[in-house]
Amino acid sequence: MREVPIEKAVGMVLAHDLTKIVPGEFKGSLFKKGHVIKKQDLPELLNIGKRHIYILELKQGQLHEDDAALRLAATLCGQGITVSEPTEGRVNLSATADGVFRVKKDVLFRINSLDDLAVATIHSDLAVAKGAQVAGVRAVPLVVDEDKIRQAEALAQFSGPVMEVAAYRKLAVGVVTTGSEVYHQRIADRFTPVVREKIARFPSVLLGQRVANDDKEMIQAAILELVALGSQIIIVTGGMSVDPDDRTPAAIRATGAEIVTYGTPVLPGAMLMLAYLGHVPVLGLPGCAMYNSTTVFDLILPRLFTGERLKKAHFAEMAVGGLCANCEPCRYPHCHFGKH
């Protein structure tokens, strides 16, 4: 870059954005890159402490900060993410639909280990709304060696898209409510209303509900019936403890479902079961999902609505951040819970 006194800069083109800061009132661009300096601009330049401007003279193999940020963002983005216009070498990445944000943390670590590049994201596997910002990409210096971008592109090309937002699918849900006290109408069903409220946050339809006694064969039959009717997720409420009267785990196994996990390193929610009948996830919910506002159920339900098939390893990863602090009032998802 070539330094030019502002008195001699009239008619010249700015090589970068100039930032104006008024504490507590404003922070933004006074003049954008590409602005042609006019005589009336000189007092404003002096007011922000500028006595010189810089004319950018890029050499072969160099990129302007805005171009570097845009190119890096294009390298990182997969489905469901849009990129903003650059400002002062930064672009923002936002969700194009309601869904779950995913990022390959190992690849992002290697990219951020390169000099002159900075990429910050929200946590992986978080539910996001359409339009929510999920990442910011920044070129640190005004001029970036193109080789740095090529290195980042090579890392992303090898791994596939580094980040994406998987959109929710519209799914039919079947609910099996267990418990002799509910089956014989001795008490009201308080669990199903909780489940209804949670699945209503997603593009879902409640295909059907069955109420079963504490009987393995009855619970098993209810699950299979709802699958036959077209349910794409089955949620079985209650009967998940080690008490001999709790028959839900045995009933889920008896359907022939593939058991992913019975037990999770998440509190509350340790007694959750996840299994698959073909492509249909079958969830056995412990009683805490009825009493606690946030449990492991809230962590995995968004992911199931994207069609992601969860594995045992996904639950093992939840251990870090899997302890709810039971804050009053609950601040989820604006807390550490589930952030691994």
Q: Where are the beta strands (DSSP E) in 60-203?
A: 62-64, 81-83, 90-95, 99-103, 117-121, 126-128, 133-139, 143-145, 163-167, 171-178
pLDDT in tens, 58-76: 789 998 888 999 999 999 9
- Residues 6 or more apart whose CB falls under 8 angstroms from that of 51 comprise 5, 6, 45
pLDDT in tens, 3-12: 888 888 888 7
In this structure, are strands 233-237 and 90-95 parallel, antiparallel, or unpaired? unpaired
Query: DSSP string spanning 256-267?
Result: TPEEEEE--S-B
Phi/psi region, residue 256 (left: phi>0; alpha: psi -120 to 50; beta: rest), is left
Q: In this structure, what DSSP letter does residue 323 have?
A: B
How far is 217 from 222, CA to CA, in rounded Å?
9
Does the CA dihedral 111-112-115-119 come out positive or negative? positive
The residue among 285 and 28 whose pLDDT is bigger is: 285
Residue 245 has pLDDT above 70, yes or no: no
pLDDT of residue 79: 97
pLDDT of residue 65: 87
pLDDT of residue 268: 96
Where b means 16+ CB within 10 Å and e means fewer, 122-142 reads bebbbbbeeeeebbbbbbeeb
pLDDT of residue 34: 66
pLDDT of residue 159: 83
Residue 280 has pLDDT above 80, yes or no: yes
Ordered by where they begin, the domains of the chain are 2-55 (3.90.105.10), 62-164 (3.90.1170), 171-317 (3.40.980.10)
Residue 316 has pLDDT above 90, yes or no: yes
How far is 159 from 194, CA to CA, in rounded Å?
40
Q: End-to-end distance of the chain based on CA atoms, in angstroms?
A: 43
pLDDT of residue 244: 57
* Helix (H) / strand (E) containing 53: strand 52-55
Per the CB < 8 A criterion, the answer to whether 284 and 273 are in contact is: yes
Averaged pLDDT of the chain: 92
The residue among 121 and 10 whose pLDDT is bigger is: 121
Number of Cβ atoms within 10 Å of the Cβ of 223: 28
- Provide mean pLDDT across the span 223-239: 96
What's the angle, vertex CA 334, arms to CA 138 and CA 328, rounded to 5?
155
The CA distances from residue 186 to 183, 211, 217, in Å, are: 8, 13, 22
pLDDT of residue 160: 83
pLDDT of residue 319: 97
